[in-house]
Structure 1
Amino acid sequence: MTLKARRRFFMAACLIPGLVMFILFKLYPAMQVFYRSFFLWTGIGDKPKFIGLKNFVDMFHDDVFLLALRNTGFLIIIVPIFTLLIALVNASILTRTKLKEKGLYRTLFFFPSILSFVVIAILWSFIYHPTIGFLNSGMELLGLGDYAMAWLGDSRTVLWALAVTLIWQAAGYYMVIYMAGIDSISPDLYEAASIDGATSFKQFIHITIPMLWEIIRITIIFSINGVLTISFVIVTIMTAGGPDRHSEVVMTYLYQQAFTNSNFGYAMAIGVFVFAFSVILSLISNKLTERGSN
C-alpha cells in the first residue's frame, strides 16, 4: 500500500465512524420527524394513518399553538435585543476602560453562562416568589411594597420575567465573544479618534460596532436560536406554561402534544414548523444586517 493510500485509509477510518453516528442519531431521526409529520400517530404500537397536510392546517387553527407562537415571538424579539446590547456595552467598558476589578467583573458576568438551565430556572423561581422572593422583599425594603406582585403568576408580567431570566443567563456568554473581537481591533484606531476629539461614545458607535459587525450578525442568529431551545427548560420549570397559557412557548406545547396527549404526528409537525421557522428567521436576520456589513 502506497503512502497516499495509507493516508486515505487513515482519514476514512477517522471520518466514517463519526459519519455513521451522525446519520443514525441525527440525520435519520430528523428525516423520520419530517416523514411522520404527515401522519396521525398516537405512539408506539399504533399504526400511523396518512393524513397529508392536515397536521399543519390544524396547527394554524389551534388557538393554544397560536398563543404559544405569539409568546415565542415576543421572547425572540425582546431577549436578543437586550442580551446583545448589554453584552456589547459591558464588553466595551471592560476592554476600553482601566478597571482594577476587570477580571472579577468578567468572571461575575460570565458565571451565569456556565450554570445549568435547570439551576437558573430554580434560582429565578425563588427570586420571583411572591412571599419569600428576593425581588418583592427588596421592593418592600425600598418602600415599594405596593408594587410587589406574583411576577410569574400575572399574565402582564410573566413573559417579561422569563425574558429577564434568559437575558441574565446569556449576556455574559456573548460579552466574552465581543471582548475577544474588541481586543482584535487595532488600538491605533481609538488613539487616532481620541486625538481628533471623539468621545468614548462616538468611538463605540463609529469604531467598535462597525468593526464587530460580522460578529454581531452571527450572535444575533445564535441568540434567536438559543431562545427557541433554552426557553423550553426555563418555561417548563418556572411556569409550566401558566398562568392560563400566557407563558406557553412553541417547544413546551410540542412536548405536551407528544408526551402528554400522545399526539406524536401533530407534535412532529410542530417540530418541522420550528425548524423551518428558525431557518427563516436566520435568513431574515442575515439579510437585514447584510447592508451594514458592506
Structure 2
Amino acid sequence: MKKNSKGAFIFMCLAPSVVLFTLFMVVPTINVFRMSFYRWGGYSASRTFVGLDNFRILFSGDMRFLQSFQNTVLLISVVSIVTFGISLVFASILSREDVKGKNFFRVVFYIPNILSVVIISAIFSAIYEANNGMLNSIISFFDRTREPVYWLGDNDIVIFSIAGAMVWQAIGYYMVMYMASMASVPESLYESANLEGAGKIHQFFRITVPLIWSNIRTTMTFFIISSINLSFLFVTAMTNGGPDGASEVFLSYMYRQAYTNSSYGYGMAIGVVVFTFSFALSGIVNLVTYRDPIEI
C-alpha cells in the first residue's frame, strides 16, 4: 500500500512537468522537422510536400546560409575562447590574490549579465558609432589623420564587433561561477606548491584548472549552445544582419526566411540544421573535454 502511495505521489509531482515539456518542447520540435519537408508560406492554407528539396537548396546554392553558418561558428569560437580565458584569469586573481574590494569587483563584473541584451546592444552601438563613438574618439586622440572605422558597417569587422559585445556580457557571470569553484580548492595544495617553488602560472594550470575542470566543462557546453541563441539577439538588435548579410547568423537567417520572406518550410529546414548542429556540437565538446575526475 505504501509503495502504491509513494508511486502515485511521484507520478502526481512529475506529471505536470512532463505534460508541459511535451506540449511546449517535444511537439513543437517534431513539428519543425515535419514542416521542413514542405513548401509553405506560413499563412496560406495550401502547402506542398517537397521532401528533401529545402535541404538540397540549403546546402547547394544558398550562399547567405553558408555565410550565416560561417559567422555562427566564428562567433562561437572567438567568444568562447576569449570569454573563458578572461573569466578564468579574473576569477583566479580575485580568488588567490590579496585584492581590496573583491565583493565590489564581483558586483561590477556581474552587472552586464543582468542587463537586457537590447540595452547592451544600445551601449555598444553608441561605442561603435563611426562619427562620435567612444572607440573612434579614442583612436583619433592618438592618430587624428586616421579615417573613422565603421565597426558595424564594415563587412570584415562587423562580426568581431558583435563578438566584443557578447564577451562583455558573459565574462562576469562565468567569473563568479569559477570563483565559487576555486573557493573549494584546498589552500594546502597551494602552500605545498609554493614550498616546491612553483610559480603562480604553474599553480594555475597544474592545480586550479584541473580541480575545477568539471565545472569548466559543464559551463563550456552550456555557453557554446546558448551562444547560438545570444548571437541572434545581438545581431537583431545591433545590425539586423547587415551590412549586406555580413553579420547574419543561423537563427537570424532562419527567422528572416520563415517570417519575413514567407518561406516557412525553408526556415524550418534551417531550424532542423541548427537543432542538429547544436546537439552534435555539444556531443563533440563533451567528448573532447572529457577528463577523469581528480579526487583530493
TM-score (norm 1): 0.95
Q: Deviations over 1:181-234 (max 9, x none)?
A: 111111111110011111111100111111122222222212211221001010
Following TM superposition, by how much is the alpha carbon of 1:5 offset from its aligned partner in structure 2, in angstroms?
3.4
| CA distance in structure 1 between the partners assigned to 2:71 and 2:56 by the alignment | 20
Amino acid of the structure 2 residue aligned with 1:9: A
Q: Could you list the per-position Cα deviations for residues 8-45 of structure 1 after superposition, in whole angstroms to 9, with x for gaps in the alignment? A: 33332222122111111111111111111111111134
Which letter does structure 1 place at the counterpart of 2:265? G
Structure 1 segments unaligned to the other structure (5+ residues): none
Letter in 1 for 2:235: V
Which range moved further: 10-19 or 100-109? 10-19
Residues 263-278 of structure 1 aligned to structure 2 (within 5 Å): 263-278=263-278
| Cα gap change, 1:145 to 1:13, in 2 (>3 Å) | farther
- The one-letter code sitting in structure 1 at the alignment partner of 2:58 is M
* SS state at 2:164 partner: helix
SS at match of 2:146: helix
Paired position in structure 2 for 1:206:
206
How far apart in 1 are the matches of 2:106 and 2:198? 27
- Does the aligned pair in 2 maintain the 1:118–1:237 contact within 8 Å? yes
Moved more, 247-256 or 45-54: 45-54
Matches within 5 A, 1:214-293: 214-291=214-291
Residue 120 and residue 85 in structure 1: after superposition, are their counterparts in 2 closer, same or farther (change >3 A)?
same
Superposed displacement of residue 245, structure 1: 1.0
Deviates more, 1:145-154 or 1:247-256: 145-154
Within-5 A mapping of 1:1-294: 2-60=1-59, 61-143=61-143, 146=146, 148-291=148-291
Aligned mates of 1:225, 1:203 — CA distance in 2: 30
Q: 2: distance between equivalents of 1:145 and 1:272?
A: 49
**One-letter code aligned to 1:288:** V
Deviation at 1:144, TM superposition (A): 5.7
8 Å Cα contact 1:40-1:266 kept in structure 2: yes
Measure how far apart 1:95 and its partner are. Answer: 0.2
Is the 1:228–1:251 Cα contact (8 Å) retained in structure 2?
A: yes
**Residue 76 of structure 2 contacts residue 228 of structure 2 at CA under 8 Å; is this kept in 1?**
yes
The CA RMSD measured in Å over matched residues stands at 1.6
Tell me the distance in 2 between the aligned counterparts of 1:39 and 1:238. 32
Closer/same/farther in 2, CA of residues 145 and 120 from structure 1, 3 Å limit: farther
Distance 1:145 1:17, change over 3 A: farther
* Cα displacement (A) at 1:141: 3.1
Distance in structure 1 (CA, Å) of the matches to 2:101 and 2:216: 26
Alignment size in residue pairs: 293
Which piece of structure 1 moves more, 37-46 or 249-258? 37-46
The 8 Å contact of residues 131 and 148 in structure 2, kept in 1 or not, is answered as no
CA distance in 2 between partners of 1:141 and 1:170 (Å): 29
Task: Measure how far apart 1:169 and its partner are.
Answer: 0.6
Q: Is the 8 A contact 2:68 2:253 kept in 1?
A: yes
Q: In the aligned structure 1, how far is the partner of 2:146 from the partner of 2:94?
A: 37
Contact 2:71–2:159 (8 Å) recurs in 1: yes
Contact 1:69 1:250 in 2 (8 A): yes
Q: Which one-letter code corresponds to 1:72 in the other structure?
A: T
Deviates more, 1:180-189 or 1:134-143: 134-143
Gap change, CA 1:245 and 1:182, over 3 Å in 2: same
What displacement does 1:247 show?
0.7
Q: Does the CA-based 8 Å contact 1:90-1:175 persist in structure 2?
A: yes
User: Gapped runs of 5+ residues in structure 2?
Assistant: none
C-alpha contact 1:136 1:145 (8 A) present in aligned 2? no
The amino acid of 1:276's aligned partner reads T
Give the TM-score, by structure 2 length: 0.94
Residues 53-104 of structure 1: CA deviation (Å, up to 9, x unaligned): 1111111120110111111111111110000000000000000011111111
* CA drift at 1:130: 0.9
1: CA distance between counterparts of 2:163 and 2:46?
Answer: 41
SS in 1 for 2:156: coil
Q: Secondary structure at the match of 1:146?
A: coil
CA contact (8 A) 1:40 1:49 kept: yes
